Amino acid sequence: MFVITADQVDSRSRADIVGSTLSRLNDAHADQLVLPVDRNAGDELQVLTDDAGTALAIVLDLTRDGAWSVGLGVGSVRLPLPAETREASGDAFVAAREAVGRAKKAATRFAVEATSGRNNDGWPGAADAEALVNLALVIRERRTPPGWELYDLVAAGLTQADAAARLGIAAPSASSRARAAAVRPELAALPALTRLLENVDRANTRTDPQE
């Protein structure tokens, strides 16, 4: 199971964006969430999902503009589940809390933690996932607004040619922009990152309910 705890950066001097963000995430990922995204501790939000792709997509969303410190916890969740995410508990929530604490000090504002696992038996661990997701985040931090325009269109399913037409730029310009923005390498890496997180989850989630 995956838990994301995200803490709004500089919440005392900025407008509260927790409500609008959790509404947006709930609308975008409702079918993949175990419980709705919830507000926790005032300026934090929490996500609970059993889908690695959804966890990765939300991490990438929250880290895009530097407004959040994002901790991803991987592990078991206490059963039965409560009605609201903020009332849930278990290893994954503990891990997410530790992760967001480290994320606040990280250049990328992201960290991964898992409180148990078989990392010494050939299973990928939280450190592996953190290192590779951070690599993607560094690439994304260097992307310019024009690069993001092209990335968003291609990520939404348009061909590069169709994206170029939508943006009103020539095909060679789109190709240059795509290379500079590392659009294709990132999109090609996302399935691999998802599989990595799935393996981390297998290594860290017990199948028995926690007492």
pLDDT over threshold 60, residue 121? no
User: How many CB atoms neighbour CB 136 within 10 A?
Assistant: 21
Residue 106 placed within a domain: yes
Model pLDDT for residues 66-117, shown as the tens digit of each residue: 999 999 999 999 999 999 999 999 999 999 999 999 999 999 999 999 976 5
Q: pLDDT tier at 122 (50, 70, 90 boundaries)?
A: low
Residue 204 placed within a domain: no
CA distances from residue 120 to 46, 75, 98, 132, 147 in whole angstroms, order as listed: 30, 16, 21, 19, 40
Residue 37 placed within a domain: yes
Q: Determine whether 68 is exposed, middle or buried from the number of CB atoms within 10 Å of its CB (0-12, 13-18, 19+).
A: buried
pLDDT over threshold 90, residue 156? yes
Residue 191 placed within a domain: no
Measured distance CA(106)–CA(72) in Å, rounded: 13
Residue 67 placed within a domain: yes
* Amino acid (one-letter) located at 196: L
Predicted TM-score of the model (pTM): 0.93
pLDDT in the model for residue 116 = 64
Domain that holds residue 33: 2-124
Residue 87 placed within a domain: yes
Beta strand pairing call for 68-74 and 110-114: parallel
Model pLDDT for residues 161-170, shown as the tens digit of each residue: 999 999 999 9
Measured distance CA(134)–CA(115) in Å, rounded: 20
Q: Nearest-CA neighbor of 48 among 8, 23, 80, 81?
A: 81
Residue 93 placed within a domain: yes
CATH number of the CATH domain containing 114: 3.30.70.1230
